[in-house]
Structure 1
Amino acid sequence: MTSSQVAWLALAITALALALAVWGLHSWAGGRRDRAALVDRLADIPGPQRHSAPFAGLDRRVRRTAWGQRLGGRLAATGTNLTPGQFVAAGAGVILGSWILADVIFAPFFGPIAALLALWAATSFLSWRQRLRNERFIAQLPELARVLANATQAGLALRTAVGMAADELEAPAGEELRQVDDALAMGHSIEDALSGLQGRLPSRELVVLVSTLVLSSRTGGSVVESLRNLTVTLEERKETRREIRTQMSQVTVTAYAVPAIGIGSLLLLNQMMPGALRAMTGSGLGRILVVVALGMYVVGFALIRRMSRIDV
């Protein structure tokens, strides 16, 4: 092979490599654009407002992580319109603000403690919102069973009855049943669709309802009679839960009053003796005693909350 042929061969290989590199770069950029568009659609943000949504860039970065995906699932279960990026930004602001306020009002030693309490409060907010939505859904279960029973007795299929209940019931039952109806429309079985609902809103009442519907659809039994009996049972459990919550309300208030008294005592001490907290936390022994006292308040709060929690 002559030198000119070698030069032409090298030029052809170089041109092919450059063409493949350009094609690969174009495919990679297109894939990133498609992925970003898919993330925006999953975030339920309208197209014209997508780029103007607060913390849209942060939301995309958070959703790329496994932790962000779990956070998105928890936010969806709470029924709020917050995105993972917005929640992370709000949580960071609350933590930083708590640190600064504790540093200014109490002493620099209390800054990290206040930040940890703010982090716990942010995670507890998600649990509280999810528990509140779950309780609202449980309160709607007797009406849901009644609507399904009436629709089934009228000769409608279970899938049609679910869609009718989604239109008639208010949130959160209407929203959750709409997701079940969409899953059935996409070809999922009734068992898979209801299992997804049970995973989003776990409760014993919903387990009984889902088991009744699944067994009735499998065996071809009387769905109407089962739902009628289940409606009566759910109504009784609803009344029992309401009575227990009323009787335990004083204990619940006590659980939150205990740490509030501790924080109020610190404020009162610092008001009566300005600089007392800074002097107390200036030594190692003082810091140890403060940490032990705060730990005892936390243990007391946890024990009172545990005693007031009764599973029905």
Structure 2
Amino acid sequence: MELHDLITLTTGVTLLTCAFAVAGLHAYAAGRAQRQALVDRLSSTGQIPAGLRRRRFPTLDRRLRATRFGRRLELRLAATGLDVTPGEFFVYMLATVAGLWLLGQAVLAPFFGPIAGLLGAWAAFQFLNWQRQKRIEKFINQLPEMARILANATQAGLALRTAIGMAAEEMEAPAAEELGKVSSQLALGASLDDALGEMAARLPSRELVVLVTTLVLSNRAGGQVVGALRNLTETLEERKETRREVRTQLSQVNMTAYAVPVLGVGSLLLMNSVKDGALDRMTGSPLGQGAVIIAFLLYAVGFVLIRRLSRIDV
């Protein structure tokens, strides 16, 4: 009798579990269908871009955004304009670090694995800085056209808020994206000072600060926005040409900064290819490991010094 009761209880629990599993699958399928219907409806109205990409690693992304590191990483990614979430970038960075770690161990010596991994993490964040600076440079080159459009719109009698929305529609990225954010913030009730201030914080540059200051002061004091923007357009055009000339003159120096560490790594590969196992024997003692670490630090110092000496603010 007891065995019969145990069989009956087990059968009942199994059936109940199956019922819950079927209900859960039905709820999951219904939720996916509702989400897809919502995405299709918003895409058709233009409120979200068509073909919205499905995000990877959503659980890790949510947990990472809850941390201070994740929030700072999210701000850096927003400044670059990349369509990557903090969770996706973190996973890609870990994969790069692991790959370089294994590659350094296989090609050079086991001692170089952690060094290659650290270089991979540094290169990932340097890539973000490069993308951010690249976007800032492109945005700076669009500032004269932006000032010209705002001047023409205000001269035609449009309000500055309307002129910003019109400029967002006529210009290309990244100016269109940033002005679109400003226009959306203004539509939600944000002040012009705060909206333009956040744009200047996302893309810091002297030219944008001057443009934002001109717009804010003209909006507060009720001055001649058209005349100020006309004069600013000419100034921005001159600064644009000056920045291009300076960048051309310093291109060779910047290439030297990257060539110095590349030559160091190349010498290690050449040494290991000439005499197989030379790096293993060199890094097999604490003295050799210390010499390698000091050499890498000197290469890093040389790279930073050359970059700093070739930096000219225009």
TM-score, length-normalised on structure 2? 0.83
Paired residue for 2:209, among 207, 210, 228? 207
CA deviation after TM superposition for structure 1 residue 284, in Å: 1.2
Q: What SS is found at the alignment partner of 1:171? A: coil
Q: Which amino acid aligns with 2:102?
A: I
In the TM superposition, residue 48 of structure 1 has moved relative to its aligned partner by: 10
Q: Distance in 2 between the 1:294 and 1:207 partners?
A: 39
- Counterpart of 2:189 in structure 1: which amino acid? G
State the secondary structure of the residue aligned to 2:313: coil
- Corresponding residue for residue 154 of structure 1: 156
Describe the superposition over 1:30-77 as per-residue Cα deviations: whole angstroms up to 9, x where unpaired.
xxxxxxx9xxx9xx9999978x53212211121121211111111111
Q: Distance in 2 between matches of 1:227 and 1:45?
A: 33
Give deviations 1:183-226, integer Å, cap 9, x for gaps. 11011111111011111111100110011001111111100000
Distance 1:296 1:230, change over 3 A: same
**Aligned to 1:290, what secondary structure does the other structure show?**
helix
Matched, 1:113 2:115: yes
How far, CA to CA, are the matches of 1:155 and 1:49 in structure 2?
Answer: 38
> For the residues of structure 2 that align with 1:151 and 1:61, how far apart are their CA atoms?
45
Take 1:157 and 1:76, find their aligned partners in 2: how far apart are those partners? 29
The residue correspondences of 1:54-203 to structure 2 (distance < 5 A) are: 54-203=56-205
User: Structure 2 regions of 5+ residues with no counterpart?
Assistant: 1-34, 40-46
SS in 2 for 1:208: helix
Q: Distance in 2 between the 1:47 and 1:131 partners?
A: 28
Match of 1:26 in 2: none
Q: What is the letter of the counterpart of residue 82 of structure 1? A: V
The alpha carbon displacement at 1:146 in A equals 0.3
Distance 1:299 1:100, change over 3 A: same
RMSD of the TM alignment (CA)?
Answer: 2.0
CA distance in structure 1 between the aligned counterparts of 2:48 and 2:85, rounded to whole angstroms: 9
Match of 2:254?
252
Paired AA for residue 79 in structure 1: G
Instruction: Tell me what 2:300 maps to.
Output: 298
Alignment partner, residue 263 of structure 2: 261
Provide the C-alpha distance between the structure 2 equivalents of 1:137 and 1:163, rounded to a whole number of angstroms.
Answer: 17
**Aligned mates of 2:252, 2:50 — CA distance in 1:** 48
Distance 1:46 1:203, change over 3 A: closer
Tell me which residue corresponds to 1:4: none
Partners of 2:177 and 2:51 in 1: CA distance: 24
User: Distance in 1 between the 2:49 and 2:85 partners?
Assistant: 13
1:309 aligned counterpart, secondary structure: coil
- Aligned-pair distance for 1:119? 0.9
Equivalent residue for 1:228, pick from 215, 227, 230:
230
1:207 counterpart SS class: helix
- Structure 1 runs (4+) greater than 3 angstroms displaced: 44-50
